[in-house]
Amino acid sequence: MNTDTLAPDSNLVPPPAAKPDHPLRETLVIFLKNKAAAAGMILLLIVLVGTIFGPALYGVDANEMVWIPLSPPGDGTPLGTDYLGRDILAGILVGGRVTLIVGAVSAVMTIVIGVVVGAFAGFFGGRVDAALMKFTEFFQVLPSLLLAMVLVTIFAPSLTTIIFAIGVVGWAQIARLTRAEFMRIGNLDYVKAARAAGARDSYLMFRVILPGSLPPIIVSSALVTGASILFEAGLSFLGLGDPNTLSWGLIIGQNQNYLLDAWWTVTCPGMAIFVTVLAISLIGDGINDALNPRARKRG
């Protein structure tokens, strides 16, 4: 909008680059050229390798007392020990597994629920839309982290409950976004043409409209994944994680009372969460820039 309005003689602005032959490839190229996104990819790769192979390579049992409790980094263990004398580095390496699994699976759940609700609301409109939007509004009124806490408390903390709780609370934004995209694209000529040709609703929704509305959904999926990881961290910090599985949030929560005497017990696991979510945010930003090259200069 702004370049056009600033230059009333619109011919003066060089015409936009011709549409690339392979939009996907073009997008990929822009994405790969983005330094921040590349940094995000590398960070995420380090986190993944660390959590998958780290525990075996490091070889220290994260649940065993291996050294004097609360001893600082470098004094017997690389990142120090917690109040039970457990190795913090070992805890970080193995604790990432729960965090990443919960984050990923519940993010997928959030996105699927959001997309389905939004797709039906946007596609059918009218009463279906009104009802589904009331339903969405209901979930927007309940603070999602608080609702997740309540659900986990009531259904007893376990990996499944946590994934379920995080998965069902945060989809409202995705639903709104998908609905808006479906409404917009549903009115475009090629969709009207497909409809006129007698395509079935399910085909129209998921084969015709959905692919067109994917870009913004993909971008917010990165945000949702980051948020899910932060949710998991928050829940296990509050003692609502699976008590039998070590996770980053749990290590922080368990050592909370010692933080002023032993900063390393909370600083390092927190850093792990931060780096992971940062990596995903950077990748999400990179995808966003690659999908909307015009917005990059402004946004």
Partner 1 sequence: MTDDTPFLEIRNLTVEMKGDAGMIRVLDDVSLSIRRGTTMGIVGESGCGKSMTALAIMRLLPPGFQITSGQILLDGEDITKASEARMRQLRGNDISMIFQEPMTSLNPVYTVGEQIAEAVRQHQGLDTAKAEQRAIEMLKAVQIPGAEARLGSYPHEFSGGMRQRVMIAMALACQPRLIVADEPTTALDVTVQAQIFALMRELQEETGTAIMLITHDLGAVAELADDVAVFYAGWRIEHGPASAILRHPAHPYTSGLMSCTPRLRLGAAASGQGPALLEIEGMVPQLGKMPSGCRFAPRCTLADAHCRSTVPVDTEVEPGHAAMCWKTKAEVLA
Partner 2 sequence: MDTYQKVTATVKRLIEAFLLVMAVVVFNFFLIQMAPGDPVEVIVGEMGGASEELIAQMRAQYGLDRPVLEQLGVYVGKVLTGDLGYSYYFNTPVTQLLLQRLPATVLLVMSALVVAVVVGTLAGTFSARKPDGMGSHVVTVLSLVGYSAPVFWIGMMLLILFASIWPIFPVSGMYSMRRPDGIGYYLDILHHLVLPAVTLATIYIAFYSRLARTSMIEVLGQDYIRTARAKGLPEGKVVWKHGLRNGLIPIVTMVGLQFGQLFAGAVLVEAVFNWPGLGRLAYDSILRRDYTTLLGILLFSAILVMIANALTDIAYRWIDPRMRKVKA
**Chain contacts with partner 1 (rule: CB under 8 A):** 3, 5-12, 14-15
Which lies closer to partner 1 via its Cβ, residue 97 or residue 296? 296
Residue among 106, 109, 136 nearest 120 (CA) = 136
Size of the site for partner 2 (CB under 8 A): 51
Q: Report how far residue 21's alpha carbon sits from residue 152's, in angstroms, rounded to the nearest whole number.
A: 49
Question: At which residue do the structure tokens 């490839």 appear?
Answer: 25
43-102 positions binding partner 2, by CB under 8 A: none
Q: Report how far residue 44's alpha carbon sits from residue 52's, in angstroms, rounded to the nearest whole number.
A: 12
Number of residues written out for the chain: 299
Cα first-last separation, the chain:
13
DSSP 155-210: T---HHHHHHHHHHHS-HHHHHHHHHHHHHHHTSHHHHHHHHTT--HHHIIIIIIH
At closest approach, how far in Å is the CB of 182 from partner 2? 20
At closest approach, how far in Å is the CB of 2 from partner 2? 2
Which lies closer to partner 2 via its Cβ, residue 63 or residue 267? 267
Strand ranges for the chain from DSSP E? none
3-state secondary structure of 87: strand
Which lies closer to partner 2 via its Cβ, residue 71 or residue 267? 267
Taking CB under 8 A as the rule, which mask of x and - marks residues 219-258 in contact with partner 2?
A: -------x---x--xx--xxxx--------x--x---x--
Binding partner 2 (rule: CB under 8 A), the pick from 28, 274, 293, 294 is 274
9 binds, options partner 1, partner 2, none, Cβ within 5 to 8 A by partner type: partner 1
Q: Report how far residue 89's alpha carbon sits from residue 112's, in angstroms, rounded to the nearest whole number.
A: 35
At closest approach, how far in Å is the CB of 295 from partner 1? 17
Q: Contact positions toward partner 2, by CB under 8 A?
A: 1-3, 5-6, 134, 137-138, 140-147, 149-151, 153-156, 226, 230, 233-234, 237-240, 249, 252, 256, 259-260, 263, 266-267, 270, 273-274, 277-278, 280-282, 285, 297-299
